[in-house]
Amino acid sequence: MREEGATMGDYKTAFRPIGSEALTFDGKTQYRSIPSSSEINFARDQDFTVAVQVCPDPVQPSQQNVDPGMVEKWDAYGRYPFALRYYARGAEQGKIYAGRYDETNFPTVMSKSLLNDRKFHHVAFVRRTQNGKGVLELYVDGALEASTPDTTAGDTRNGSALYLGCRGLRGGTGMNYFAGQIKDLQIYGAALSPAEIAGLARPQPQASGKPNLLLIVADDLGADALRINDATGEVTVQLDGPNGTTGPKRLPNLEKLVKHGMHFSRAWAQPVCSATRGSLFTGMQPWRSGVGYPDPGGNNTLVMNPRSGAAVRSLAEVLKGADYRCGMFGKWHMGKPDAERPPTKPAGGKKNDPKRTAWDWGWERFEGILEGGFRVVAPKYGYPQATMPLGKLASVNPEAKDPNDPREVAFAKKRDAVRTRTTEYLRRVAPEFVERQPDIQFYVWEKCYEDDPTGVMLYDRPPTERTHMYATRDQVYSAKEWIAQMLGSPWCVALTLTTPHDPFHVPPRESYTIRFANPEKPTVQEMFVAMVESMDFYIGQLLSSPEPEIQEQLKNTVIVFIGDNGTQDEDPDRPGVLLDSDEQDKATPHIGAVHVPMIIADGGSLLAGTPCYLAGAAIRGSSGDLVHILDIFRTCADIAGASAREAVDSVSLKPYLRGGSVEKREFNFSQQFGYHKMQGGRTTNKFALVSDGRYLLSCARSKFNDSDVTDEYTYTLYELVPHETIVGALREKKIESFLTDATHRAVAQRLYDEMKRHHLDGGDEKEQRGPLPFPPLFAYRYVRLLAKSEVNGGPWTSAADFQVLVNGKPLDRSAWTVTVDSEETAGENGRGQNAIDGTSASIWHTEWYSRCPAHPHWLSVDLKSPQAISGFKYLPRQNQANGRIADYEFQVSSDGQSWVTLCAGRFPDGTAEQTVDVQLANERSIRGTVAVKATFRNNGSVPLDYVWVDYAGAEKKYGTIAPRSQVVQDTYETHVWRLKDGARTVATYVPTTEPNPVFSYGNSP
């Protein structure tokens, strides 16, 4: 219940005291009473709407008065906020009137229409503030029939019950009984707009060619925790934590979606929340949209003109062009207003510039939070970010430095105002977890509300002003109420839930089944499972809504469920506490950060047994093809019949759902990028991932330097294999040898070619630069010449000169620094730095005067920045053979600690400078691999060039394949080949040892 006198009300959230029940009254003794509550007890100056479907009997048996009561909050004594009555006799017979009373003034409005035709009519009584004054309006079947000033001057609230079918009497009996039917009673703590009233009054829509769209996004829920078994159809939540397994718990409502839709088992999102939302709602990769990481570590604000130069349109703006109405309920996380905004939208409906909030970006209704979660709630009550049990709502904050500080006084007043309501609510919904509730931030969060039809814009409203304190319930029920008003209009609802994101807590008792081993102290794993169960429960409350106006619309709805990124690994409020034993999930450069559950279901199949959109083959279907959360954008646009030309990174999944030729993704790409340094000098991980389904290549920042431009990065290659114990999940096998193994080097090159189509970040506004390119794949900051033997068998090593080559040319050595394992400084100047001083007269020589350490010896160079090394030059000492290197290895490193050997060999004895081309060495190493004959087929309508990619990444054209033709090419098993249409690569192939492999591009003729 809301507190008496609450100012916000649940704007546009209906109180439905009889639900979907249709009540019949005999006009003699039958009535229904509803206890008084703040949902129905409106003050003199409070706007409201009372909407109801009524079907009066033409003959009214009651003779007590001429106006039997249909809906009124009055027990025949004193004032009342509203009453709706039917004229049974006299000159106005068949009409209705509505009014309110303050014990002196009694303003009323009467219908023009007669409602005595034995049909249901929609009636709405509205109190609206216009130009600072109250107006009463009466609507019949969506049309305004009467209005009058609200002349009440005193209080209109009372302690009476709400009576349906009569005028009440104290003591619980009634008088002035009404004969007829009443249904769909909805009472709002706000004045609905004429358009919204007309929407409520419209008849139930018939299924049309434009399905509705319901997008349900779970927060921090990866494929490792939410497990979908395609063989059995079971959907469970389970955590394999460091101290054992929690779960599994079945999720019956998500199982229904799997049963009535298609599961995409290889779906990717972005690694973190805001980057995913930027992709989902623009159809663009983060580097293109500019949204790469949550604030304060990075940019999470969607802008119209990002540094990439992309033209950004939101999903809501695109769907609006196809006459869809769009509402978002839950988490926005793509920007906040730069300054405090007024409680109404700008005059003339003009959008704010710059765009910041959901309404700015085309969502006509938004209810939820603009931030990324509820860990920001504690500071709003005067505490640092941390867990917030009920006890922290105390008047006195023992952590406050000065209790008399004006800010702390305001916080104390705020805590007092919320404490009673929160305690009452928890006692009702979670009686076992009131004082021992681990965290109440999911209950005492502050709500934002934006509504285009009414122009109401409210931000950070206290929890005492809403019916549903618990976040997940509020988000789902807000969506339900809005959907109920959408009759006759195609719509898109983005239900962007905030669960199971931390802070971890115990949800309302109605919504989970897990039993806590120690109720005094539930574990993080137990609370996580309870939160996911709660999410499933409230999704079920929407999907199984008894209201016919909601059910009928859901029967014509395509439903998408997806996680926004991998499961959260660590509880930030409990340092060192891990959710599961795998620490490579959300916000890490690993598959666990991006592999998420994704289901697309058909509401018609779910609720009516007949699909409204999906083809029969897609029902209870599954696909292991690569798909991305980006693809939801163009899929929704295709379903709606809208143009999505700006969504350049999105691929429509419509063919999977409807049948037809499928444009399969060859690669998935995801990334996150934060600022170089955030406040306090902290840094943010910056990385990107690309995969072809079998292999995954990551590029991750490994060293911070002066700026993003000079930071250093490391590439890592993995093979993806099915997880041994988690159904549907994947595990990485790191390929340590991909730098030197020819097969895996070619795989890495192929993935890198796809990666470099994108950019490392979205640019930087402060630095006025655009998005950065990816560094070279085979680039290293450190090199090491390892000497394993000397030409004469001695223990020494020497070098007159050493150079490193990039593209065959020596690098500038002026900034280099050298370290060696040994250098002679007593018997001669044999320092390591002599090897790069540019003269052959000085040499590096290992110790010999006082001791002679044995091989191997090494000379290591810090190049000061990563370089794409192509080779090196070694000049032996010129005056004698002593120390000349025989057997060697040339090694590289990204950090100066872990070394990889690029090539090895033996130098001849002599004074000639030795030049080693690493790429040629690699090419020579592959000559022993299997030779094959590969067939390249061009099934398309335009000629294609076929080119070989050499070991430096350069392309060498071999010929052209005419349309509907093929060529047979001699090659080796790991060579990389591309088919190109001009400058555009249309396909990439890596032959294997399979005899005579055949590669086809385009649909077979």
| Over residues 984-988, mean pLDDT | 80
| Burial environment of residue 19 by CB neighbours within 10 A (0 to 12, 13 to 18, 19 or more) | exposed
Task: State how far the Cα of 507 lies from the Cα of 249, in Å rounded to an integer.
Answer: 15
CA distances from 619 to 213, 235, 556, 564, 624 (A): 17, 16, 15, 24, 15
| pLDDT at residue number 829 | 97
Residue appearing with tokens 């304060």 = 296
- Contact residues for 878 (Cβ-Cβ < 8 A; gap 6+): 800, 840, 911
User: What is the secondary structure of 602-659 as a DSSP string?
Assistant: EHHHHHHSS-SSS-GGGTTEEEEEEEETTHHHHHHHHHHT---TT-TT----HHHHH-
Strand partners, 946: 959, 979
* Per-residue model confidence (pLDDT) at position 1001: 81
| Helix residue ranges per DSSP H, 758-852 | none
81-113 per-position pLDDT tens digit:
999 999 998 899 999 999 999 999 999 999 999
Tokens coding 106: 């009694």
DSSP 522-578: --HHHHHHHHHHHHHHHHHHHHT---HHHHHHHTTEEEEEEESSSPP-B-TTSTT-B
Average pLDDT of the residues in 28-57: 93
DSSP state of 920: H
pLDDT at 5: 29
Token pair 């609720």 in the structure block, residue: 607
∠290-295-300 over CA atoms, to 5°? 25
Under 8 Å between Cβ of 168 and 181: no
Q: Percent of the chain at pLDDT above 70?
A: 94
Q: Structure tokens of 382?
A: 């005067």
Q: Helical H runs in 774-832?
A: none
pLDDT in tens, 730-778: 999 999 878 777 789 889 999 999 999 999 999 988 888 999 999 988 8
For 279, the token pair is 């992709």
**pLDDT band for position 954 (50/70/90)?**
low
Looking at residue 910, what is its pLDDT? 94
Quickly state the pLDDT bin for 925 (edges 50, 70, 90).
very low
Long-range CB pairs of 298-302 (<8 Å, 24+ gap) are: 298/274, 298/672, 298/673, 298/674, 298/675, 298/678, 298/684, 299/675, 299/762, 300/274, 300/333, 300/334, 300/335, 300/372, 301/334, 301/335, 301/336, 301/356, 302/278, 302/334, 302/335, 302/355, 302/361
Q: Answer whether residue 919 shows pLDDT above 70.
A: no
- In degrees and rounded to multiples of 5, residue 266 shows phi and psi of -120, 40
Cα(367)–Cα(178) distance, rounded to whole angstroms? Answer: 38
What does the alpha-carbon distance between residue 382 and residue 366 come to, in Å, rounded to a whole number? 27
Task: Please say if the pLDDT value at position 951 is more than 80.
Answer: no
How many Å apart are CA 353 and CA 360, to the nearest integer?
A: 8
Residue 991: the pLDDT is 66
User: What is the dihedral sign for C-alpha 887, 893, 899, 903?
Assistant: negative
Has residue 8 got a pLDDT over 50? no
What is the rounded average pLDDT of the residues 1-28? 64
- Edge-to-edge order in the sheet of strand 809-810: 809-810, 801-806, 871-875, 914-917
Is residue 600 within 8 Å of residue 264, measured between CB atoms? yes
For residue 422, the tally of other CB atoms under 10 A from its CB is 21
Residue-wise pLDDT for 183-195, tens only, equals: 989 999 999 999 8
Q: What is the DSSP string of 242-292?
A: TTEEEEEEE-HHHHHHHHTEEEEEEEE--SSHHHHHHHHTTS--HHHHS--
**Does the pLDDT of residue 949 top 90, yes or no?**
no
Query: What stretch of H or E contains 121?
Result: strand 121-130
Structure-block tokens of residue 831: 């320092």
d(CA 258, CA 531): 20
Contact 593, 563 (CB under 8 A): no
* Structural contact between residues 21 and 183, judged by C-beta atoms closer than 8 angstroms: yes
Handedness of CA 806, 810, 814, 818 (dihedral sign): positive
Q: What is the pLDDT of residues 194-236, one digit of tens each?
A: 988 998 887 654 445 699 999 999 999 999 999 999 999 999 9
* Look-up of token digits 């106005």: 92
CA angle, 387 as apex, 384 and 390 as ends, to 5°? Answer: 105
User: CB-hemisphere CA count at 13 Å for 101?
Assistant: 15
Contact criterion met (CB below 8 Å) for 62 and 28: yes
800, 804, 799: which is closest to 892 by C-alpha? 804
Residue 349 pLDDT = 66
For residue 681, is pLDDT > 70?
A: no
Closest Cα partner for 933 from 960, 965, 966? 966
Whole-angstrom Cα distance, residue 112 to residue 595? Answer: 60
On whether the CB atoms of residues 618 and 713 are closer than 8 A, the answer is no
Question: Taking CA 364 as the corner, what is the angle to CA 315 and CA 148, rounded to the nearest 5 degrees?
Answer: 165
CA atoms within 13 A on the CB side of 497: 30
Per residue in 594-640, pLDDT (tens digit) is: 999 999 999 999 998 899 999 999 999 999 999 999 999 999 999 99
DSSP 767: T
Per-residue pLDDT of 827-886, as tens digits, reads 999 999 999 999 999 999 999 999 999 999 999 999 998 898 989 999 999 999 999 999
pLDDT band at 352 (very low <50, low <70, confident <90, very high): confident
So what's the pLDDT on residue 205?
Answer: 46
pLDDT range class, residue 931, cuts 50, 70, 90: low
Least confident interval from 119-123, 165-169, 241-245: 241-245
Q: How many CB atoms lie within 10 A of CB 376?
A: 15
For residues 319 and 321, give the distance between their C-alpha atoms in angstroms, rounded to a whole number.
Answer: 5
